[in-house]
Amino acid sequence: MRKIVAGLFISLDGVIDSPENSPKKWGNAEIMDRIAEGVAKADAVLVGPQTYQFLAQFWQHQGSDVPMAKFLNHSPKYVVSTTLDTLEWQPATLVRGHFADEIRKLKQQPGKNIQVPGSPALVRSLLREGLLDELILNICPVVAGSGTRLFEGIEQPANLKLIDSQSFKNGVLSVSYQILKTNE
């Protein structure tokens, strides 16, 4: 079965949408190499509508010599949305209705991991539905103070197992966790 792996930049206080912990500020070559390692294990992308539009604006105009551009431009993208009607950045499939059933079917298909870059609302939904398998947090050495927190609204506990961690010269700590299912 394919794994769904989410990766996000996050502040020490759990904020994911602050300029203080943005990939633009902290995503240096070292970290991009680590992200590329994860991308090499995936062959599909799962995102929400805002992340899809944000990524499309930048990555579809980048050359295939950049590993992330090659991955994002050529991999099938599954966009969970009730607001978008069309998807210009192809290959892409719109996932509507009760998305969890569609994602379960997608996980059953042959292939590599399914990468979730960003999309915090989708990550929360995947966690609630028991569909998220791994969570990679790039923890930035900053307290953002305010903003959207990744685990906002999560009411059920989730047990995690540390898979890997790596620190970077700029102070970012990248941690990879397996999401333990209730029977593990």
By three-state DSSP, how is residue 21 classified? helix
Average pLDDT over residues 175-184: 86
Average pLDDT over residues 3-26: 86
pLDDT at 31 over 70: yes
- What's the chain's average pLDDT? 92
Q: Smallest Cα–Cα separation from 178: which of 106, 127, 119?
A: 127
Q: How far apart are CA 39 and CA 66, in angstroms?
A: 12
Q: How far apart are CA 2 and CA 132, in angstroms?
A: 11
| pLDDT tens-digit readout, 90-127 | 999 999 988 999 999 999 999 999 999 989 999 999 99
Whether a cis peptide bond, with omega within 30° of 0, leads into 49 is: no
In the chain, where does DSSP find H-type helix? 23-26, 29-39, 49-59, 67-74, 99-108, 120-128
Query: pTM for the whole thing?
Result: 0.93
Average pLDDT over residues 130-141: 96
Average pLDDT over residues 61-82: 91
Q: Which two tokens stand for residue 146?
A: 């305010």
Q: Lowest mean pLDDT: which of 46-50, 71-75, 79-83, 143-147?
A: 143-147
| pLDDT tens-digit readout, 151-165 | 998 988 899 999 999
Give the pLDDT confidence score for residue 26 in this predicted structure.
Answer: 82
Give the pLDDT confidence score for residue 21 in this predicted structure.
Answer: 64
pLDDT at 184 over 60: no
Give the pLDDT confidence score for residue 183 in this predicted structure.
Answer: 62
Domain ranges of the chain: 4-179
State the architecture of 4-179 in CATH terms.
3-Layer(aba) Sandwich (3.40)
